[in-house]
Amino acid sequence: MRTRVLNTLAAVAAAWCLMSAVTASGQTRAPSTEDFAKKVALSDLMEIESSQLALSRQPDADTKPFAEQMVKDHQETSKELKGLVESGKVKVVLPTSLDTEHQRKLDELKSKSGKEFDRAFDQMQLQAHQEAVPLFEQYAQAGDNPDLKAWAFKTLPRLKEHLEMAKKLF
């Protein structure tokens, strides 16, 4: 029952995010290159730090392999994004540390332990991936930087897989 409710909420949230990105003319509105790249960099930092925290907390049997996968995959996407910037294909300055909002969420997570930590981590992961998938879809469809757009398109299936994995944590 709880899984079905969470899946329904996830579907509604994803649909709302996609609908809010459609303009009156029916065109998908992508974030700017700078906004997209910065959001992705912050998201990667948060995924890596929160997952490393989870691994240090003796996570439950579902959380451990998920957190290990998040560290591995998000380190890879961070590396790929930095490569696009360093090559000059994407002209933006990427954040190297968490902003205030993400740091606050990480600090809240750090204050929890045991089952409470696992539930908070699982919920954080579900929400993060529910937000990331439509963001990548928007940019892959209508982004203004062809190299970053291609990268978003290439990365999207992995994020969708992460979202499905996050749903199974509950």
Q: What is the per-residue pLDDT across 8-32, written as a single tens digit (0 to 9) for each?
A: 333 333 333 433 443 333 455 889 9
Written as one letter, the residue type at 9 is L
Written as one letter, the residue type at 71 is V
Q: What's the CA angle centered on 17, arms 169 and 106, to 5 degrees?
A: 50
Report residue 39's pLDDT band, with 50, 70 and 90 as the boundaries. Answer: very high
Residue 5 has pLDDT above 70, yes or no: no
pLDDT at residue number 29: 82
Q: What is the mean pLDDT of the chain?
A: 86
Q: For residues 125 and 70, is the Cβ–Cβ distance under 8 A? A: yes
Domain ranges within the chain, ordered by starting residue: 2-23+32-167
Give the CATH H-level superfamily of domain 2-23+32-167.
Ferritin, core subunit, four-helix bundle (1.20.1260.10)
- Report the Cα 36 to chain-centroid distance in Å: 12
Rg value, the chain, Cα: 16
pLDDT at residue number 69: 96
DSSP state for residue 88 in the 8-state scheme: T
**Tens digits of residue pLDDT in 105-147:** 999 999 999 989 999 999 999 999 999 999 999 999 999 999 9
> Cα dist. 109→51, 72, 102, 103, 164 in Å?
11, 20, 11, 10, 22
Averaged pLDDT for residues 83-89? 96
